[in-house]
């Protein structure tokens, strides 16, 4: 991808959840087009940012602005994983409240630019439970917790709320990925792939293109929108 096309040279991009499944790919993609990427997470990053803590968000944001002068793009990528992935309260706290906290606090400190939230197709449609029958991943049964679906649906609603609140200064949009291949069991991958029009799961780097678009001036008239990246899964009846 050309940095001339996306025009993100020296733009300051703050990414939360930068060490997760998709985070490293997003960091790589924005660096390739010349952006100044500030990768944050609850550990293993230069700047620590816990989306569930308003104090942590404020501290991290002040450090970033002191160093770079501004934040041009916020990508709310943090999500509950591991042992917290089935806990209703923790999922809501990270996925939904965390997105709200960052959008409210960091958005108020942005002069202009773009906020991009990360939702899921399960914020749009209910799970097809046949996909998860007898499926295990990392020694645990696979599935879609209710808290995950509720939180991701809430992220879509929050996107529209903040798009209205921050217009016209800041554009706020949402990407809605479907299943991303991460070494899930072969049987699950095969079943899932048959549900998509493209016949496969997404690769980890296939969401980043939409983020680049939404962060750039190519999307200058786009706000309050959801871009679904699911290989056509939710478009098929």
| Mean pLDDT value of segment 101-108 | 98
When pLDDT is cut at 50, 70 and 90, the band that residue 85 belongs to is low
Q: What is the pTM of this model?
A: 0.95
> Domain coordinates of the chain in residue numbers?
3-126+146-182+204-235
Lowest mean pLDDT, pick from 29-43, 75-89, 93-107: 75-89
Q: Is the dihedral of CA 56, 89, 182, 196 positive or negative?
A: negative
pLDDT at 133 over 80: yes
Provide CB contacts within 8 A for 136, sequence distance 6+.
Answer: 142, 185
Lowest mean pLDDT, pick from 80-84, 88-92, 141-145, 209-213: 80-84
Output the pLDDT for position 137: 84
When pLDDT is cut at 50, 70 and 90, the band that residue 202 belongs to is very high
Tell me the angle at which helices 54-68 and 98-109 cross, rounded to the nearest 10 degrees. 30
List of long-range contacts for 46-54, beta carbons under 8 Å, 24+ apart: 49/16, 51/16, 51/17, 51/76, 51/78, 51/94, 51/97, 51/98, 51/99, 51/101, 51/102, 52/93, 52/94, 52/97, 52/98, 52/101, 53/101, 54/101, 54/105
What CATH number should be reported for the domain whose range is 3-126+146-182+204-235? 3.40.50.720
Which of the pair, 144 or 83, is modelled with greater confidence?
144
pLDDT at 44 over 80: yes
When pLDDT is cut at 50, 70 and 90, the band that residue 3 belongs to is very low
Other beta carbons less than 10 A from residue 54's beta carbon = 14
| Mean pLDDT value of segment 174-193 | 95
- Phi, psi at 16, each rounded to 5°: -90, 160
Q: How far from the centroid of its chain's Cα atoms is residue 134's Cα?
A: 28
When pLDDT is cut at 50, 70 and 90, the band that residue 170 belongs to is very high
Active site residues: 148
Angle at 111 between CA 105 and CA 114, to 5 degrees: 75
């Amino acid at each position: 991808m050309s940095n001339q096309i996306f025009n993100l040279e020296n733009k300051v991009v703050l990414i939360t959840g930068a060490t997760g499944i998709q985070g490293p790919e997003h960091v790589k993609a924005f660096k390739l087009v010349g952006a100044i990427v500030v990768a944050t997470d609850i550990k293993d990053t230069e700047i620590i940012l816990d989306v569930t803590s308003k104090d942590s968000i404020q501290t991290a944001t002040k450090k970033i602005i002191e160093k770079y002068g501004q934040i041009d793009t916020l990508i709310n990528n943090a999500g509950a994983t591991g042992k917290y992935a089935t806990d209703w309260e923790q999922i809501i706290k990270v996925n939904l409240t965390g997105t709200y906290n960052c959008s409210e606090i960091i958005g108020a400190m942005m002069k202009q630019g773009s906020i991009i939230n990360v939702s899921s197709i399960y914020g749009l449609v209910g799970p097809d439970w046949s996909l998860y029958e007898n499926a295990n991943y990392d020694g645990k049964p696979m599935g879609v917790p209710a808290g995950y679906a509720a939180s991701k649906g809430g992220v879509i609603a929050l996107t529209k709320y903040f798009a209205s609140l921050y217009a016209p200064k800041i554009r706020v949009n949402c990407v809605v990925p479907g299943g991303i291949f991460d070494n899930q069991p072969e049987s699950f991958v095969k079943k899932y792939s048959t549900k998509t029009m493209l016949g496969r799961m997404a690769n980890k780097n296939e969401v980043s293109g939409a983020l680049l678009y939404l962060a750039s001036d190519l999307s200058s008239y786009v706000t309050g929108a959801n871009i679904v990246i699911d290989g056509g899964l939710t478009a098929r009846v």
